[in-house]
Amino acid sequence: MVLPRRSCFQRKMTILLETTGLTKDFGKFRALDNVSFSIEKGVLTSLIGPNGAGKTTFYNCITGKFPPTSGKIFFKEENITGLPAHTIQQKGLSRSFQIVSIFPELSVLDNIKAALIAKAKKNWRMLSFLSRDRVIHEEAMNMVELIGMIDRANWLCHTLSHGDRRRVDIGIALAARPDLILLDEPTAGMNPKETEEVIQLINYLRGKTETTFFITEHDMEVVFSISERIIVLHQGKVLADGTPSEIQENPSVQEVYLGGVL
């Protein structure tokens, strides 16, 4: 009687993110329909689903781009529903966007520095030189090294290849050392070689940081190779939720989504 209760308690402690009945309407269109699930600390979770399933909408609701129509979001057991994006970010929930979103006219290093300034809440310091801030500089260099861009630290980002810009993008999100990072299709628009590199990067970063990764991805091979847990979204609803092998065997998933692929 005692044992299951205890394990239940322990399990609850490790839950990072939890949504209950999350619903989002765009006019009459219901993009998210009563989505309830939770993300556990340290478990690389993937969110998959066909185009228009509502994956990006889900991310947008969680990270405060817009509030959900109804339902609640808890992050580290705190209700964050409806909070503005910058507040949610400060609590340790970072994200990247489906389309690479960086500061194109700043150097790689300065892109990372921007994230670190924000994290350290130094964004109101106006009477000291940024270049004199050793702490920010060291941390930024570390991060640049982690994303494998140390040899191009001073390159302006708009001169980088798409794959490298995605590295910077992930670096910006990870620089704040968040508890949870949401990557929206990190391999979108990439050739197989670049895709492979990004997957390697994600695996590498998982080992090097405390951050939990939550990813959406179209490439099924990628999904099944790196995920520890997969959530399938279909027409705004959770269709299935489980380990990669459970998902592979799930008949309804095969029917609506995986089709003949597997």
The count of residues interacting with another protein (CB under 8 A) is: 43
Contact between 212 and 39 under an 8 Å Cβ cutoff? The reply is yes
Residues 34-73, mask of contacts with Mg ion (x by CB under 5 A): ---------------------xx-----------------
Q: Which does 40 bind (CB under 5 to 8 A by kind): Mg ion, ligand ATP, another protein, none?
A: none
User: Coil, strand, or helix at residue 105?
Assistant: coil
Residue closer to ligand ATP by CB (options 42, 52) is: 52
Sequence-separated (6 or more) residues with CB below 8 Å from residue 222 = 187, 195, 199
Residue closer to another protein by CB (options 141, 256) is: 141
Using rule CB under 6 A, residue 53 touches ligand ATP:
yes
Residue closer to ligand ATP by CB (options 68, 133) is: 68
Residues 11-30, mask of contacts with another protein (x by CB under 8 A): --------------------
Q: Cα separation of 167 and 153, whole Å? A: 12
Place of tokens 């500089």: 137
b vs e for 80-105, b when ≥16 Cβ sit within 10 Å of the residue's Cβ? bbebeeeebbeebbbbbbeebebbee
Q: Restricting to residues 68-107, name those near ligand ATP by CB under 6 A.
A: 98
The sheet with strand 70-75 has its strands ordered as: 29-40, 15-26, 70-75, 78-79
What sign does the dihedral 51-232-93-144 (CA atoms) show? negative
Report the C-alpha dihedral over residues 24, 67, 216, 188, rounded to 10 degrees.
Answer: 100
CB of 45 to ligand ATP, least distance (A): 16
Place of tokens 């609701």: 61
Using rule CB under 8 A, residue 127 touches another protein:
yes
Residue ranges in contact with Mg ion by CB under 5 A: 55-56, 98
Question: Which residues of the shown chain bind another protein in the complex (CB under 8 A)?
Answer: 63, 84-87, 89-90, 94-95, 97, 99-106, 110, 113-115, 117-119, 122-131, 133, 136, 156, 162, 165, 172, 176, 189
Point out which residues bind ligand ATP (CB under 6 A).
Answer: 26, 31, 49, 51-57, 98
